[in-house]
């Protein structure tokens, strides 16, 4: 079987793969978690699959935030100020 | 606590203190911009969403109930505006430009080579993200890139927890495959 775990594996493996995402998030009930652990012990294909899935998630977690560039921030503040002015004028008009 | 700070700033902004509103914007703009940029893949559209999101907050200051966290509310606005933009782009046949956010990423002083490699990897990761269906991309960006709790992600997107989980699973799986396809030795010359 290839490293891509292309679902040619057993029915059992396919069912396991469906919960791996939750498994990595530690979001599985204990009983199911134990079943996954048991399966992983004896299935190198699923171990490899889980490993590549986990590495992928780690990479995306490390992508990090993006700062707002100064010029973008200035335009944002200008837009908000404009909306605030409009709002004031509207309030004055309805008074 | 940032939530307490939000609460005070919101109260001041409601009573017309513009400086407080600007501080709120400063505290949250990076989250909104990051989500929009990774959802849309281009800077001009991300900037539009950034503006739309905070204008919407400004207009709804009185209506925003603080039953949900401000960050959840802002993420929800930004996600909705982004998805709307993607729908419009699809209808108009617009092309999505490759993302080039390199300069603004917070860096921790790596060597030039490390920086080049990291930039390559980041571009690859971002390109793969753009290869996902929008609904899956939203979940993966919020959950894995922004690091938000799963329940919170479901709340932001207005979907059930099981729906969130299945999108997350599909998205991660697709990204995993894309990573493997890129690093597959059979693919290199
Ligand atoms: Zn297996």
**What digits encode the pLDDT tens for the residues A22-66?**
999 988 899 999 999 999 999 999 999 999 999 999 999 999 889
Percent of chain B whose predicted confidence (pLDDT) is above 90: 68
Sign of torsion, CA B1 B139 B120 B177?
A: positive
Residue to test with chain B: of A68, A81, A92, most B Cβ within 10 A: A68
**Residue B73 near residue B30, CB atoms below 8 Å:** no
The residue-averaged pLDDT of B138-165 equals: 96
**Residue B145 near residue A60, CB atoms below 8 Å:** yes
**Residue B81 near residue B53, CB atoms below 8 Å:** yes
Residue B138 has pLDDT above 90, yes or no: yes
The number of residues in chain B equals: 189
Task: List residues, by chain if needed, whose CB lies under 5 Å from ion ligand 1.
Answer: A 13, 43, 46
pLDDT band at A6 (very low <50, low <70, confident <90, very high): very low
pLDDT band at B160 (very low <50, low <70, confident <90, very high): very high
Smallest Cα–Cα separation from B108: which of A73, A54, A62? Answer: A62
Sign of torsion, CA B53 B58 B61 B63?
A: negative
Tokens read off for B127: 């390109």
Q: What is the ipTM of this complex?
A: 0.84
- A50 forms beta bridges with none
Q: Match domain B109-189 to its CATH number in 1.10.10.10, 3.20.20.70, 1.10.460.10, 3.40.50.300.
A: 1.10.10.10
Q: What's B1-97's CATH class?
A: mainly alpha
């Amino acid at each position: 079987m290839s490293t891509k775990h292309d679902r040619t594996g057993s029915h059992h493996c396919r069912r396991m793969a469906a919960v791996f995402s939750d498994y990595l998030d530690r979001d599985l009930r204990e009983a199911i978690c134990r079943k996954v652990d048991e399966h992983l012990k004896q299935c190198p294909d699923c171990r490899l699959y889980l490993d590549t899935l986990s590495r992928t998630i780690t990479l995306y977690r490390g992508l990090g935030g993006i700062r707002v560039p100064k010029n973008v921030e200035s335009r944002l503040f200008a837009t908000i100020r404009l909306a605030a002015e409009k709002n004031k004028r509207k309030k004055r008009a309805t008074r | 606590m940032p939530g307490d700070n939000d609460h005070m700033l919101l109260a001041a902004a409601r009573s017309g203190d513009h400086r407080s509103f600007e501080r709120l914007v400063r505290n949250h703009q990076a989250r909104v911009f990051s989500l929009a940029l990774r959802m849309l893949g281009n800077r001009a559209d991300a900037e539009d969403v950034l503006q739309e999101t905070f204008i919407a907050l400004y207009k709804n200051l009185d209506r925003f109930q603080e039953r949900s966290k401000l960050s959840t509310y802002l993420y929800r606005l930004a996600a909705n505006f982004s998805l709307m933009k993607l729908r419009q782009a699809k209808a108009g046949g617009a092309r999505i430009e490759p993302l080039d956010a390199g300069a603004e990423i917070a860096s921790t002083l790596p060597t030039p080579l490390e920086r080049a490699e990291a930039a390559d990897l980041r571009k690859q990761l971002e390109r793969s993200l753009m290869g996902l269906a929008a609904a899956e991309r939203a979940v993966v960006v919020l959950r894995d890139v922004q690091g938000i709790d799963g329940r919170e992600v479901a709340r932001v997107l207005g979907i059930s927890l099981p729906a969130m989980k299945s999108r997350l699973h599909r998205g991660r799986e697709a990204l995993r495959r894309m990573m493997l396809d890129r690093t597959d030795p059979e693919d290199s010359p």
